[in-house]
Structure 1
């Protein structure tokens, strides 16, 4: 019998490996969503007295190599799109750990003398926690883009972001990573996988949520270990519930697939593009969610 979940996991692993070299149609979708929101965000706040900041937690180089239907090309990445946002941001903060990417960001910084740009070489989790803890959020509003390579965003980082009450977040959640790490049998979960799942979800309650005792014994009458009963959609609902527990408002995520486009997706689900607003004021996060939802629906 064809095992669709096993096939999906195989597709995800192949896509995850390919992604390090080339993005795909999902890359264009996430970047278009971000760019549209940045324009709307700055327009909505342009007549208010807030300092507007763009923060990129995994900034890259400013360019993205993509492969769509076998055709390879290079497109502007998130930082270049943020730089051309109109109205402009008062400040842009680019965080990156790799030296080669930092060099590209500094070159980009030198090309935009008219803009206030800060390039930081550090772990995104550490830097974001520092920013969230030290910035004057009473007079500042920000859009944060989290596009990690793998399961690198700690739950404690998301909690720090939510605590600002002032940051709008676009988070490309590693859907394929969650599904791949949560093996079909709990016995196959090694210490690293367990740690990874707990780090990204902020709780070990996923074990009780995703797994249940095996209902049938084996041929020798021996009881098996716990097996995963949650499918990938159930697991993503758990993620959505977790995010809604710390952010005042979270939009329904847009699932990005391995192939096809937004209207006609194909292959395995790779990512879940989330938008969350930290502002506790209903008027503020209500508008943010409305704009983000319109953006996601337009793609």
Structure 2
């Protein structure tokens, strides 16, 4: 075993005995189970609500992985169904499933799902998630289609431009596991530690450079020569997450408050550092539609 970063700078345990991270032997935790339970419950509710309407229902998994997840809770390791398998098991089901994955070894596992579910319309797409999602959003006119999208990225990977394309469809409900720890660790306490790559990453994910003014303030002059040590972050991680929430609520017609997922404990008594923020966003501008969707999502989040 060794410790590895999963992209959001949170440490997780990696089993390297069978080939390393490409084989998906990365152990999640209690947060993994919470996010998957929320998604699973919503998929059933979504399909039930639309089952008597004529929409083509599509499930999109932007970082589909292998369909299985290894988790470690209270020292015990187990393997559970991931998002792709849970979507395929949802009853009522979807008319079409789009699984996006970039790594070849994970693709092989996803394609095996086609053989396991011969009666289902499954499309496995090998691509960067941002490029694939933009293409899917442009592929349909979104008049007779409705979709649920699961965004569970490895770190700061989802571009704001991708979220804009999703919101513009007016037809996709989104579960977005935002990399909370990645945000506050990328945004170093002292701005001198913000290299060009980190700044570009923050701007790409948040869709604006305004984070710099919001998160940082100029230090007072501190030495005999009148120079300063650069800007210092005065926003704590809660204020930073509020900035994210405000950005998302300005883009989508309706967004739930995030459920913060922590490193340990459970959803009622969490322990450790906050790792992720689970958002639900509805892109349908119809008030009746987005109220129903967000009410369902809120009930699910409150039940976990």
Change (3 A) 1:114 1:210: same
Please state if 1:151 is matched with 2:144. Answer: no
Aligned partner of 1:30 in structure 2 is 35
Distance 2:74 2:227 in 1: 49
Instruction: Please report how far the alpha carbon of residue 109 of structure 1 lies from its aligned counterpart in structure 2 after TM superposition.
Output: 1.2
Q: Which residue matches 1:212?
A: 217
Aligned to 2:277: 272
CA shift, 1:51, in A, is: 0.4
Counterparts of residues 68-83 of structure 1 (less than 5 Å): 68-83=73-88
CA distance in 1, matches of 2:227, 2:68: 55
Separation (CA, whole Å) in 2 of partners of 1:62 and 1:97: 14
Q: What is aligned with 1:136?
A: 141
Give the counterpart of 1:187 among 172, 189, 192: 192
Counterpart position of 1:113: 118
Q: What is the 5 A alignment of 1:151-170?
A: 151-170=156-175
Deviation, 1:216, is 5.5
- d(CA) in 2 for partners of 1:18, 1:245: 37
> Aligned partners of 1:62 and 1:126: how far apart in 2?
21
TM-score (norm 1): 0.94
**Alignment of structure 1 residues 213-252 onto 2, 5 Å:** 213-215=218-220, 217-218=222-223, 222-252=227-257
Question: Within 5 Å, which residues of 2 pair with 1:79-94?
Answer: 79-94=84-99
Segments of 5+ residues of structure 1 without an aligned counterpart are 1-9
What CA distance in whole angstroms lies between the structure 1 residues aligned with 2:8 and 2:148? 31
Question: What residue number does 1:57 align with?
Answer: 62
Give the Cα separation in 2 of the matches to 1:172 and 1:286.
21
Query: What SS does the corresponding residue of 2:27 show, helix, strand or coil?
Result: coil
Count of residue pairs the alignment pairs up:
289
- C-alpha distance in structure 2 between counterparts of 1:18 and 1:222, whole Å: 44
Q: Which moved more, 1:245-254 or 1:214-223?
A: 214-223
2:13 aligned residue: 18
Q: How far, CA to CA, are the matches of 2:235 and 2:125 in structure 1?
A: 39
Q: Secondary structure at the match of 1:223?
A: coil
RMSD: 1.6
The corresponding residue for 2:108 is 103
Supply the distance in 1 between the matched residues of 2:275 and 2:66 (Cα, whole angstroms): 22
State the shift of 1:16 in Å. Answer: 3.5
**Separation in structure 1 between the aligned mates of residue 85 and residue 298 of structure 2, nearest angstrom:** 23
Greater CA drift, 274-283 or 18-27 = 18-27
TM-score scaled by structure 2? 0.92
Q: Structure 2 vs 1, CA of residues 294 and 219 (structure 1 numbering), >3 Å: closer, same or farther? A: farther
- Aligned partner of 2:44 in structure 1 is 39
